[in-house]
Structure 1
Amino acid sequence: MVRVVLATHNPHKAREFQQILGDAVPGLEIVAYDGPEPVEDGVTFEENALIKARAAAAHTGLPVLADDSGICVDAMGGAPGIFSARWAGRHGDAEANLRLLLDQLAELPEASRGAHFTATLALVVPGQEPTVVQGVWPGRIALEARGEHGHGYDPIFVPEGHDVTAAQLPSEAKNAESHRARAFAAIVPALRGLAERAAGV
Structure 2
Amino acid sequence: MKLVFATNNQNKVKEVQSLLPNHITILSLIDIGCEEDIPETQPTIEGNAIQKAQYVKKHYGYDCFADDTGLEVNALNGEPGVFSARYAGEQRNSDDNMNKLLNELQDKKDRSAHFKTVVALILNGEQHTFSGICKGTIIKEKKGEKGFGYDPIFMANGFEETFAQISLEEKNRVGHRGKAVQKLIDFLNTKK
TM-score by length of 2: 0.93
1-structure distance, mates of 2:167, 2:2:
29
Choose between structure 1 and 2 for higher RCO, CA contacts under 8 A separated by at least 6 residues.
Answer: 1
1:57–1:126 contact (8 Å) kept in structure 2: no
What is aligned with 1:114?
A: 112
What is aligned with 1:147?
A: 144
Aligned AA (2:25): E
1:57–1:125 contact (8 Å) kept in structure 2: no
- The 5 A counterparts of 1:1-201 are 2-21=1-20, 23=21, 26-34=22-30, 35=34, 36-109=36-109, 112-128=110-126, 130-194=127-191, 196=192
Shift of 1:186: 1.5
2:19–2:182 contact (8 Å) kept in structure 1: no
1:37–1:52 contact (8 Å) kept in structure 2: no
Percent identity of equivalent pairs: 36
Q: Any idea what the Cα deviations from partners look like across 1:151-189, whole Å, max 9, x if unmatched?
A: 000000010001111111112211111101110121123
SS of equivalent to 2:146: coil
2-structure distance, mates of 1:170, 1:46:
27
1-structure distance, mates of 2:12, 2:113:
21
1-structure distance, mates of 2:17, 2:182:
13
Aligned AA (1:31): L
SS of equivalent to 2:19: helix
1-structure distance, mates of 2:63, 2:14:
19
2-structure distance, mates of 1:50, 1:189:
19
TM-score by length of 1: 0.89
- Aligned residue pairs total 188
Dislocated runs of 4+, deviation >3 Å: none
Where does the alignment leave 5 or more consecutive residues of structure 1 unmatched?
197-201
